[in-house]
Amino acid sequence: MLGDMDIPEQELRFTFSRSSGAGGQNVNKVNTKATLHWDPATNTSIPDAVKERLRRLHPHITNDNGEVVIISQEHRTQRGNIEACRDKLLALLREASIVPKKRRKTKPTKGSVEKRLQGKKRDSDTKRQRRKDW
Protein backbone atom coordinates (compact mmCIF):
# COMPACT_ATOMS: atom_id res chain seq x y z
CA MET A 1 0.00 0.00 0.00
CA LEU A 2 1.19 3.49 -0.82
CA GLY A 3 -0.33 6.09 1.51
CA ASP A 4 -4.03 6.69 0.90
CA MET A 5 -3.69 5.52 -2.72
CA ASP A 6 -4.12 1.78 -3.07
CA ILE A 7 -1.03 0.52 -4.91
CA PRO A 8 0.04 -2.93 -3.73
CA GLU A 9 3.73 -3.21 -2.91
CA GLN A 10 4.21 -6.04 -5.44
CA GLU A 11 3.27 -3.64 -8.30
CA LEU A 12 6.28 -1.44 -7.50
CA ARG A 13 9.62 -2.55 -8.90
CA PHE A 14 12.87 -0.92 -7.84
CA THR A 15 16.25 -0.93 -9.55
CA PHE A 16 19.40 0.53 -8.03
CA SER A 17 22.51 2.15 -9.46
CA ARG A 18 25.30 4.46 -8.40
CA SER A 19 24.36 8.05 -7.69
CA SER A 20 26.08 10.91 -9.47
CA GLY A 21 27.62 13.97 -7.88
CA ALA A 22 29.56 14.54 -4.69
CA GLY A 23 29.73 11.96 -1.93
CA GLY A 24 33.29 10.79 -1.67
CA GLN A 25 34.13 7.09 -1.69
CA ASN A 26 30.56 6.14 -0.80
CA VAL A 27 29.20 7.35 -4.14
CA ASN A 28 31.78 5.27 -6.03
CA LYS A 29 31.00 1.92 -4.44
CA VAL A 30 27.38 1.85 -3.20
CA ASN A 31 24.23 1.64 -5.36
CA THR A 32 22.08 4.21 -3.58
CA LYS A 33 20.20 5.75 -6.54
CA ALA A 34 16.69 4.25 -6.63
CA THR A 35 14.54 3.99 -9.75
CA LEU A 36 10.88 3.08 -9.26
CA HIS A 37 8.99 1.36 -12.07
CA TRP A 38 5.18 1.12 -11.88
CA ASP A 39 2.85 -0.10 -14.61
CA PRO A 40 -0.51 1.70 -14.19
CA ALA A 41 -2.16 -0.69 -16.67
CA THR A 42 -1.88 -3.58 -14.19
CA ASN A 43 -3.42 -1.60 -11.31
CA THR A 44 -7.17 -1.98 -10.83
CA SER A 45 -7.65 0.07 -7.65
CA ILE A 46 -6.87 3.52 -9.07
CA PRO A 47 -9.54 4.90 -11.45
CA ASP A 48 -8.64 5.03 -15.13
CA ALA A 49 -9.44 8.76 -15.20
CA VAL A 50 -6.70 9.42 -12.60
CA LYS A 51 -4.20 7.31 -14.55
CA GLU A 52 -5.07 9.18 -17.77
CA ARG A 53 -4.69 12.57 -16.06
CA LEU A 54 -1.33 11.45 -14.63
CA ARG A 55 -0.15 10.47 -18.11
CA ARG A 56 -1.40 13.75 -19.59
CA LEU A 57 -0.02 16.00 -16.79
CA HIS A 58 3.39 14.30 -16.62
CA PRO A 59 4.26 12.69 -19.97
CA HIS A 60 7.99 12.87 -19.16
CA ILE A 61 7.74 10.25 -16.39
CA THR A 62 6.22 7.60 -18.66
CA ASN A 63 8.49 5.38 -20.73
CA ASP A 64 7.73 3.68 -24.08
CA ASN A 65 6.21 0.64 -22.34
CA GLY A 66 3.68 2.83 -20.48
CA GLU A 67 5.47 2.42 -17.15
CA VAL A 68 5.83 5.32 -14.74
CA VAL A 69 9.53 5.75 -13.94
CA ILE A 70 10.60 7.88 -10.97
CA ILE A 71 14.23 8.40 -9.94
CA SER A 72 15.63 9.56 -6.62
CA GLN A 73 19.27 10.08 -5.67
CA GLU A 74 18.94 12.88 -3.14
CA HIS A 75 19.66 10.70 -0.08
CA ARG A 76 22.85 8.83 0.85
CA THR A 77 20.97 5.59 1.55
CA GLN A 78 18.93 3.24 -0.59
CA ARG A 79 16.13 3.26 1.95
CA GLY A 80 15.92 7.07 1.88
CA ASN A 81 15.76 7.10 -1.92
CA ILE A 82 13.12 4.34 -1.98
CA GLU A 83 10.94 6.42 0.36
CA ALA A 84 11.56 9.53 -1.76
CA CYS A 85 10.42 7.65 -4.89
CA ARG A 86 7.25 6.48 -3.13
CA ASP A 87 6.55 10.00 -1.88
CA LYS A 88 7.01 11.44 -5.38
CA LEU A 89 4.64 8.86 -6.88
CA LEU A 90 2.07 9.55 -4.19
CA ALA A 91 2.31 13.32 -4.77
CA LEU A 92 1.87 12.86 -8.52
CA LEU A 93 -1.17 10.61 -8.00
CA ARG A 94 -2.71 13.09 -5.57
CA GLU A 95 -2.22 15.87 -8.11
CA ALA A 96 -3.79 13.74 -10.86
CA SER A 97 -6.75 12.81 -8.65
CA ILE A 98 -7.95 16.43 -8.53
CA VAL A 99 -10.62 16.84 -11.19
CA PRO A 100 -10.29 20.22 -12.91
CA LYS A 101 -13.33 22.48 -12.90
CA LYS A 102 -15.37 22.56 -16.07
CA ARG A 103 -15.06 25.93 -17.80
CA ARG A 104 -18.30 27.83 -18.34
CA LYS A 105 -18.48 29.99 -21.42
CA THR A 106 -19.38 33.59 -20.59
CA LYS A 107 -19.93 36.71 -22.64
CA PRO A 108 -18.17 39.93 -21.76
CA THR A 109 -20.44 42.47 -20.07
CA LYS A 110 -21.68 45.50 -21.99
CA GLY A 111 -19.65 47.76 -19.74
CA SER A 112 -16.41 45.87 -20.38
CA VAL A 113 -16.97 45.91 -24.15
CA GLU A 114 -17.67 49.65 -24.04
CA LYS A 115 -14.58 50.28 -21.90
CA ARG A 116 -12.40 48.29 -24.33
CA LEU A 117 -13.77 50.19 -27.34
CA GLN A 118 -13.22 53.56 -25.61
CA GLY A 119 -9.62 52.58 -24.88
CA LYS A 120 -9.09 51.63 -28.51
CA LYS A 121 -10.60 54.93 -29.65
CA ARG A 122 -8.36 56.86 -27.25
CA ASP A 123 -5.24 55.04 -28.51
CA SER A 124 -6.32 55.64 -32.11
CA ASP A 125 -6.76 59.38 -31.47
CA THR A 126 -3.34 59.56 -29.78
CA LYS A 127 -1.66 57.91 -32.77
CA ARG A 128 -3.61 60.05 -35.23
CA GLN A 129 -2.35 63.21 -33.50
CA ARG A 130 1.26 62.05 -33.92
CA ARG A 131 0.88 61.90 -37.72
CA LYS A 132 2.36 64.73 -39.76
CA ASP A 133 -0.50 64.89 -42.26
CA TRP A 134 -3.18 65.31 -39.59
Q: Is residue 111 part of a domain?
A: no
Average per-residue pLDDT for the chain: 88
Domain count, the chain: 1
Contact 11, 5 (CB under 8 A): no
Q: What is the pLDDT of residue 5?
A: 67
Residues in the chain: 134
Measured in whole angstroms, the distance separating CA 10 from the mean position of its chain's CA atoms is: 24
Over residues 108-123, the pLDDT tens digits come to: 999 999 999 999 999 9
98 phi and psi angles, rounded to 5 deg? -80, 120
- Distance (Å, rounded) from C-alpha 44 to C-alpha 59? 21
**CATH code of the domain containing 62:** 3.30.160.20
Query: Which whole number is the average pLDDT over 11-39?
Result: 83
What are the residues facing 72 on neighbouring strands?
34
**Residue 131 covered by a domain:** no
- The reply to whether 106 falls in a domain is no
Mean pLDDT of the region 35-53: 90
> Is the CB of residue 26 less than 8 Å from the CB of residue 73?
no
pLDDT at 134 over 80: no
Expressed as residue numbers, the domain containing 52 is 9-97
Q: Is residue 28 part of a domain?
A: yes
**pLDDT tens-digit map of 60-106:** 998 888 899 999 998 888 999 999 999 999 999 999 999 989 999 99
Separation CA 71–CA 90 (nearest Å) = 14
